[in-house]
Structure 1
Amino acid sequence: MRDTTLLLTWDDAISCSSSQDVLVYELEVLVADRTVHYDKVSVTPDIMGQPHSWNWTSHLSFNCASHSVRLRSRFNNQTGPWKQEQIVPGTQKLRIKRVFPRDRVFEAGSRATFCCVVPEGQRFDRMYLSGYKGAEMNASRISERTYSLTLLLEQPSEVCVDVKCKTNVTSYGACTFIGYPPDDRDLQCETRDLKSVECSWTVGRPTHLSLKSQTHYQLLGRYNCRRCSQAIQFGAEERNWTLKAQNKLGSVELRDRADLTKRVHMFAPDALTASTVNSRSISLTWTWTVAQYHDLNITCQTHIHHSETNTMVESSGIGLKVVLLSDLIPHWTYSVTVRCATARHFWRWGDWSKSLIFQTLGDVPEALDVWMQMKENQTLVIWKKLLAHQSHGDIIDYEVTWTRSGEKDQQVKVSNGTENVTLSLSPGEEHIVTVTARNKHGSSPPSTVIVPSISPGRAAVNTSWVSGSGGGFSLSWPASPAASCGYTVDWSAASGAGTVDWLRVPPDQTSVSIVSGSFRDGWRYLLSVYGCTDGAPELLQRNEGYVRETIIEDDLFKSLKFQEQGSDVEISWDPLPLRELTASIQGYNLYYQDHKSSPHTVSTDDPHATSLTVKNLRKASYTFTVTAVTALGECGNASITATLNSQPDDVLWSVFVTFGAVFVLLSVTTVICYRQWACIKQKVYPPIPKPVFTEKFAAPSQYLVTDKCLHTEADILDVPELLYNPGEPQSDGVTSEDLQKALTPTLSSDDALRPPGVPSTVTSRDISNPSYNLALQTDAEPGWGPEGQTETGSPEGYRPQSRNEELPHSRMSLVSAYVSLPSSSQWSREL
Structure 2
Amino acid sequence: MTEMFEIQISRTEKHNIVHSVREIAVNKAKLFPFQQVLREGSSPTFCCIPPPGANITSMAFRNKPYNLTSVGDKVKAFVVNNLKIPKELIKSLLLSCFVTNGKDYNVYNYVSFPPQKPRNISCATTDFISVTCRWDSGKNGGTHPCTFPVVPQLQVYNISVVVKDMLGEEMESHSFNISERVSPVVEWDKVDKGATDANVSWSIQGNLTQNKFICQQQSCDSARGFCKVRLKPLLPNTRYVIRVRCSVNGNLWGDWTKHRSFTTDPQVTLDVWRRIQPLSDSYNRRVTLLWKQYIAGTVNIQRYSVQWSQEGQTWEDLNVDGEHNKTEISIGLGKCEISVKAVLHAGSSTPAHIIIPPMDPAESLPVQKLLSSGTVGGFDLSWNENTTVTCGYTVEWCILGHTAPCPLQWMKVPKENNTLYLPAEHFKAGFRYTFNIYGCTENGDTLLETQTGYSQELLSVQIPQLLEPVQSTSSSVTLEWRYNEDDPAEPAFVTGYLVTVQDAGSDVLPGKAADGFQVSVADPRKKSVTIEGLQPDKEYSFSVSALTKDGRGVPANITIRTKINYYSYLAKPLTAIFILLACIVLLWSTRKTLKEVFVYPAGMNIKTPEFDSFLHETEQKLQSQTVDDCTSCDIEIVTKSNAEIIKTPYSALVQEGYNPQSKDPLQGANSAPTFTPSGSKNDLLTVCKDSLHLLTRSSSSAAL
Question: What interval of TM-score do these two structures reach, taking the shorter chain for normalisation?
Answer: 0.3 to 0.5
Q: What is the TM-score of this pair, normalised by structure 2? A: 0.42
Higher strand residue share: 2
Q: What is the TM-score of this pair, normalised by structure 1? A: 0.37
Question: Of the two, which has the highest radius of gyration?
Answer: 1
